[in-house]
Structure 1
Amino acid sequence: MTTSIEQLIAEYRQQNRRSQQLFTRAQESMPGGNTRTGVYVDPFPVYWQSGAGVHVTDVDGNERLDFVNNATALILGHAHPAIIDTIRSRATGGTAFFGPTEVEIDLAELLRQRLPSLERLRFCSSGTEAVMNTIRVARAFTGKSKIAKFEGAYHGIDDPAMVSYLPALGPELGPEQDPTPVPSSQGLAPGTVESVIVLPFNDAVACERILRAHADELAALIIDPLSTAAGLILPKPEFLTSLRQITKALGILLIFDEIVSFRLSAGGTQGVYDIRPDLTCLAKVMAGGTPGGAFGGRQDIMSIYDPTTGKPGIAQSGTYNGNPLVAVAGLATLQQMTEKEYDAMHEMTADLGTELQQTFRDAGVDASVVIAGSIFRLFFLKEPPQNYRQAALDCGDQHRWYNFWMLNHGIATRLGGCLSLPMTEEHTSRLLDETRSALGEWPF
């Protein structure tokens, strides 16, 4: 017996009546019913009430095992005592000031210890702002105006980042080895698309050719080392090393967007692959589940922000930059996450990936499971993709069916997911069991 997507959605509506009511109400105030496009689900999203450890509870009282963890940000899970206690303690003494606090220094020092490339750093309030600042300082430092990025990659919502972000496949994208930049949003400033050079992920030869051709005008190359938004695409051996070598040779700054990939180890992806970028962007895990970000890198580059010797080349301000609530949450999170914790999570995720892959294979379903640290991604493809255009062939209908099945059976996933520190084999086994049950009614 198979179950159709229509049957799953009917059950979803039945389970989540209060969420549907709230969505209808929300649309009266907010376009699309919320302020985060990525959380929208047709016909309506689940509205969450609370979270504790590995579980989230929605407004209808449904409890679900959470493998989404707010898009990888909650590495300690929900409402971890270390986070709650430190935020509560900090809030009783004031939440923000027009001036710095000592805990801002504490967090900066710990980040510098874990990421040696951060010779100097500054805080901001989001990953988008971190990217925006690194691009601006790269242009200021080099005197060049263009930015290179990889096809499909997400780097927030600043104008240059909204070029070739998850573009629809078609002839307008140009050859795979020489992608044509395309706008991924309306409202981009004139000249934005022309200011971005787009590269094919995992093709070192093509990347070197394109970078050499534009070296005189390229300020920086920005890369999410795991290409997470484009699908969690693992870099080929030596790919990142080759990018470091060619950018250094050509005088192009290398920016690592570690907003997601900082989850990979205490030293992020740059620690795992032994790469020293010129600049790094951070958020999510670094802020302990609160709205914060950071960016930094070489001292000679970051000195452009320094006001101690006169008017800085770039004035960076923000009412909540480095505020103590974010700083204490980030500090508490990083203090909990030593290499021991990372290793345990990675081992459990690797085991999950192996068993999940075998589960689909046993059911005769073409699927590939990609693992990076504590992150796992499911592709309904025979082989793991090596670049964005391969990843874009992934079947959306199958993901939609699988996600609704999981939601209806008490598990939150999104194209895969990630583990949090409190998770055990009991929780990963439940995901495997529900996957086996789902495949027993698989309609594809």
Structure 2
Amino acid sequence: MRQASWFAPHPPYALKGEGCWIIDVDGRRILDCANNFFSLVHGHAFPPVIEALRSAMERGTAFGLPTESEIELAELLAARSPFLQQTRFCNSGTEAVMHAIKGARALTGRHRIAKFEGCYHGAYDYIEVGLESSPDNWDGPDGSLASTPYAKGTPPSVLTDTVVLPYDDAVRCEAILRTCGSSLAAVVLDPHASRAGMMPMPPEVIAAVQAACRRDGIMLIADEVICFRLSYAGASPLYGIEPDFVTLAKVIGGGLPVGAVSGSPERMSVFDHSRGKPAVAMGGTFSANPMSMAAGLATLRHYDRSAVARLNGLGDKLRERVNEAFAANQSPARLVGTGSLFRLHLGGREITGYRSSYPTTAEATALHQIHGALLASGILLTPNCSGALTTPMTDKEIAFLADTLTSAALKTSGWG
């Protein structure tokens, strides 16, 4: 079982999915707001995806050759955003970020990178640095943000070569980048990071990063693995980011394994193998396999501007209904997020980034209880009480989710 899908005492085992619902092996019907960690924007067994997969399967599941479907998906992405002009596919968001970092190192001739505290970008040792720092260790002796390891056995050199930035402090971020910017190959940035509270990165932080990148020749990598769903063109245009590379996964695969690195022809040339050995080799046995490409094409063709707007509108309704109920009951709890993404916080403080979203022991215990209460009532969120909406949902599901979530939070000791 995947670590991410485990929670005590044990998760339900899925039998099948129908739209925004899961039926588990015990026959329970559960509203799925985790949707495989936000990767199923159309929910389960979406008919156009099933039909696309059936057709692709009849032609063959994998080849040691390119197929037209990868060109079609790359062209579809390019039509949605000016920052996705060229795309190379891989099999996960982890791979995508790893390849983008390698590309940035090759283009700059530098090896250090910077990332933001608490942000998840996959299971790659450099990018895991600072992932789960805590009040006990998140500041270094000189006042800098500490480069803390995540996995046991992380080499000390990885910590030295990874600079940690504050998600919501532009002044501190600018100072760190001014000190070490000339040594950096890349800054990796998720402008709406789930692990950093599910709140947009402040515009002034984004501005500080982009100014440093332009000044010091640093490659800016926008991680849109989750937040691509927030607009038709993805998150970078939404937040005024001009990245060198964009990493994608999740919704662009329609429920199958996928990852991608996109960028301008100039930047993507670092992977070009058509004239011999590339500066950075990017490949994989199942990269750009026709099944994932077919599912991704069907998904994005049906996730058009109107579908994005409708889903984001449902997210606004959900947050408004829940937060009005919290206010009416004088609860410090708050539902935050943007568009179809949301997360529950309990402390009553303003949520601006990783540190302000870091739960106290009492809050963490309460969130665990709320998560369990929601599951018992037929709603699945991720273990930290975050979630995402899917297009099969209607006002009826939003009302059920809002009322059940509010009730669970208010009934939990200390938060009602």
* TM-score (structure 1 length as normaliser): 0.89
Cα distance between partner residues in 1 of 2:78 and 2:328: 46
Alignment partner for residue 125 of structure 1, among 62, 85, 91?
91
Give the match's secondary structure for 2:36.
Answer: helix
Matches within 5 A, 1:62-141: 62-141=28-107
Give the match's secondary structure for 1:183.
Answer: coil
Deviations 1:126-160 (A, max 9, x none): 00000000011100110001000001010101110
Q: How big is the shift at 1:72?
A: 0.9
- Cross-structure match for 2:199: 233
Cα distance between partner residues in 1 of 2:386 and 2:237: 24
Give the match's secondary structure for 2:126.
Answer: helix
Alignment partner for residue 124 of structure 2, among 139, 152, 158?
158
User: Does structure 1 retain, via aligned residues, the 8 Å contact 2:322–2:406?
Assistant: no
With 311-320 and 283-292 compared, the bigger mean Cα shift is at: 311-320
Q: Gaps spanning 5+ residues in structure 1: where?
A: 1-33
Q: How big is the shift at 1:223?
A: 0.8
- Cross-structure match for 2:293: 327
Mark the CA change 1:410 to 1:329 in structure 2 (over 3 Å): closer, same or farther: same
* TM-score (structure 2 length as normaliser): 0.95
Alignment partner for residue 398 of structure 2, among 428, 431, 435?
428
Cα distance between partner residues in 1 of 2:264 and 2:146: 31
Give the match's secondary structure for 1:160.
Answer: coil
What is the identity, as a one-letter code, of the residue corresponding to 1:408? Answer: A
- Cross-structure match for 1:302: 268
Alignment partner for residue 405 of structure 1, among 367, 373, 379?
373
With 87-96 and 296-305 compared, the bigger mean Cα shift is at: 296-305
What is the identity, as a one-letter code, of the residue corresponding to 1:84? Answer: I
- Cross-structure match for 2:354: 388
Mark the CA change 1:230 to 1:273 in structure 2 (over 3 Å): closer, same or farther: closer
Q: How big is the shift at 1:393?
A: 2.8
**1:61 and 2:27 aligned:** yes
Deviations 1:282-311 (A, max 9, x none): 000111111011002132222121112222
Cα distance between partner residues in 2 of 1:314 and 1:278: 16
Cα distance between partner residues in 2 of 1:391 and 1:171: 16
With 296-305 and 432-441 compared, the bigger mean Cα shift is at: 432-441
Matches within 5 A, 1:149-188: 149-171=115-137, 173-174=139-140, 178-188=144-154
Give the match's secondary structure for 2:203.
Answer: coil
- Cross-structure match for 1:285: 251
**1:199 and 2:152 aligned:** no
Cα distance between partner residues in 1 of 2:6 and 2:314: 30
Deviations 1:58-82 (A, max 9, x none): 1111111111111111000111001
User: Does structure 2 retain, via aligned residues, the 8 Å contact 1:148–1:196?
Assistant: yes
User: Does structure 2 retain, via aligned residues, the 8 Å contact 1:130–1:281?
Assistant: yes
Q: How big is the shift at 1:50?
A: 0.7
Q: How big is the shift at 1:207?
A: 1.3
User: Does structure 1 retain, via aligned residues, the 8 Å contact 2:331–2:410?
Assistant: no
- Cross-structure match for 1:361: 327
Mark the CA change 1:155 to 1:281 in structure 2 (over 3 Å): closer, same or farther: same
Cα distance between partner residues in 1 of 2:142 and 2:35: 33
Q: Gaps spanning 5+ residues in structure 2: where?
A: none
Cα distance between partner residues in 2 of 1:439 and 1:153: 26
Give the match's secondary structure for 1:331.
Answer: helix
Cα distance between partner residues in 2 of 1:159 and 1:203: 25
Mark the CA change 1:258 to 1:440 in structure 2 (over 3 Å): closer, same or farther: closer
Alignment partner for residue 266 of structure 1, among 232, 239, 263?
232
Query: How many residue pairs align between the two structures?
Result: 410
Identity among equivalent pairs (%): 38
Cα distance between partner residues in 2 of 1:227 and 1:403: 20
Deviations 1:226-245 (A, max 9, x none): 12122212222343233222
Mark the CA change 1:176 to 1:118 in structure 2 (over 3 Å): closer, same or farther: farther
What is the identity, as a one-letter code, of the residue corresponding to 1:421? Answer: T
Cα distance between partner residues in 2 of 1:303 and 1:372: 34
- Cross-structure match for 1:30: none
